[in-house]
Amino acid sequence: MSNLVLSQKEFTLFKHYIYDHLGINLGAQKIYLVQARLAKRVKQLGLVSFKEYYDRLSNDTSGEEFAYLSSLISTNVTSFFREAKQWDFLKTYSAALAEHPAKKLRIWSAACSSGEEPYTLAMFLDTHLAKSGAWDIKILATDVSPRVLKAAQTGTYTQKACAGIDPVLLQRYFTYESQTQSFRIDERLKSMITFREYNLVTGNYALFKEGMFDIIFCRNVMIYFDKPTQEQLVKKFHTLLTKEGYLFIGSSEALTDMKQGFKSKGASIYQKV
């Protein structure tokens, strides 16, 4: 089993499947990565070839095998307070919000991975929004991978994962659990977030209302999608954002050629116009 080899033909089958179902565009050089990641699953299921696994996957109507595959294929790297410049921008934004009469904020952390991004948002707003307790803040945090969502929902992180959190915030918002040597996020912050499984590429956007989000974070996932998929997604985000709402993307991503309806605010932040 250790010398299970993914043929070019099998790779093409998975490549198309992954593109159609996840939007992830795998280049030819990814054949070894796909082979390495899927081999474990093929072995675990007691199958003898990648083709056999492909048949199992494509005939599985429960969606369970797709969920498993998405966990294997996606890169889930994330961290607390990722993209420092964006948090600097949000400091200014939070100060300006003091005059906001509605005292209501709706935020979507699309592709939230193991939760560091939405928990950072919750900590950040609780700290920087004047009289944050008087605000109605709801953060929707979604990802295609049930595995990372499960981790996110525990709200528990290793010491290493918490290294990027200011010690004052760590002390304020986390409880250290010596038994597991991990930090558990405050329940009040956790209650600001709703975690849901959602596929940005094949998901049903009719579930959302036009103009419902003040802020959308979609960071470090569009980079895996091809241009047409990115364009469609950005259009959908535009529709879902409120007037003058903000879209945050990853610093290695850009809305070049698809900025229509947005103006750049720097630091990979775009405002709906």
Ligand X SMILES: C[S@@+](CC[C@H](N)C(=O)[O-])C[C@H]1O[C@@H](n2cnc3c(N)ncnc32)[C@H](O)[C@@H]1O
Residue 120 is a binding residue for ligand X (CB under 6 A):
no
Of the pair 88, 177, the CB lying nearest ligand X is at 88
C-alpha separations of 131 from 31, 35, 95, 100, 215 in Å: 52, 52, 11, 12, 19
Residue 229 is a binding residue for ligand X (CB under 6 A):
no
Residue 112 DSSP symbol: -
Of the pair 70, 132, the CB lying nearest ligand X is at 70
Measured CA to CA, the distance from residue 181 to residue 179 in angstroms comes to 6
Of the pair 49, 251, the CB lying nearest ligand X is at 251
Judge whether 143 counts as a catalytic residue: yes
* CB-based contact 191:173 (threshold 8 Å): no
The order of strands in the sheet holding 174-177 is 156-158, 182-185, 174-177
Measured CA to CA, the distance from residue 133 to residue 125 in angstroms comes to 10
Cβ count near 249 (within 10 Å): 25
Residue 26 is a binding residue for ligand X (CB under 6 A):
no
241 to 260, contacts with ligand X by CB under 6 A?
250
- Closest CB 219 distance from ligand X, rounded Å: 4
- Closest CB 2 distance from ligand X, rounded Å: 27
Measured CA to CA, the distance from residue 237 to residue 211 in angstroms comes to 9
Of the pair 1, 77, the CB lying nearest ligand X is at 77
82 to 111, contacts with ligand X by CB under 6 A?
82, 111
- Residue of the chain from 7, 12, 75, 191 that contacts ligand X (CB under 6 A): 75
For the annotated catalytic residues, the residue numbers are 37, 143
* List of residues contacting ligand X (CB under 6 A): 22-24, 74-78, 82, 111-113, 117, 143-145, 148, 199-201, 219-221, 250
